[in-house]
Structure 1
């Protein structure tokens, strides 16, 4: 599913949080039990995760879901 965030801000926030957490794309994928390609698609803004996966990603990165996908996130 194409992410609603067409300008890719969420993808940039995911990548930044992943880097800050010291995780590779594969490391994040392993932590949340998805493929590396899924992580790449989220970072590109090509994939909108389910609520369950969004919670897992945020938890693995040590941030809130709102910090990654919220409208007011910067």
Structure 2
């Protein structure tokens, strides 16, 4: 038997996954849901992320495009 995700949790899951870039495992932990339940919900909604991207650390990829400070020079 599958766990039903209510409307309140569905909005929270979508925000955590798409905006905050949380993993399904972390979302499940935060909402007391099984990771597979979260993954199934995301798959059914068609919510995916680009393959090959690592979202563990957020960074500014253009930080060194313009080296205009001593901090960037080192």
TM-score of the alignment, normalized to the shorter chain, above 0.5: no
Q: State TM-score, norm by structure 2.
A: 0.37
Which of structures 1 and 2 has the bigger CA Rg? 2
Higher normalized helix content (fraction of residues): 1
